[in-house]
Amino acid sequence: MKKQIGWFSIVLVAGCAQTVTPHYDMRFGDAVREANLAMTIDPDAGRRGDTVMGIDGRAAQESATRYRDSFKEPPPVTNVINIGGGFTGGGGAR
């Protein structure tokens, strides 16, 4: 019985010990946050009410309509025959 109590107390004390990597724990996730900031061109863009430059309302509406319509009527499939030559008379095996 004493052996079991001794083992249990060792496990209990080990659970209360401080971490062995305080410097790593303090900076945990910094690399991900820095990478996200590096990918963001303008972090304050949502706070400003600027209009989008480069496209007007009519062009945006038409592009959205074309995009939706492309699923209703997809463009025709083009069959590609003779990929790589061969029947053109130049360089193919005979």
**Cα–Cα distances in angstroms (integers) from residue 47 to residues 35, 36, 43, 58, in the given order:** 21, 18, 9, 25
Average pLDDT over residues 39-46: 81
The whole model's pTM is what? 0.29
pLDDT value at residue 38:
86
Q: Does 4 have pLDDT greater than 70?
A: no
Q: Does 40 have pLDDT greater than 60?
A: yes
Residues 6+ apart with CB under 8 A from 92: 85, 86
Percentage of residues in the chain with pLDDT exceeding 90? Answer: 11
Domain boundaries, given as residue ranges, for the chain = 1-34
Average pLDDT over residues 1-24: 64
Average pLDDT, whole number, for the chain?
A: 75
pLDDT value at residue 77:
83
* Segments of the chain assigned E as strands: none
pLDDT value at residue 26:
82
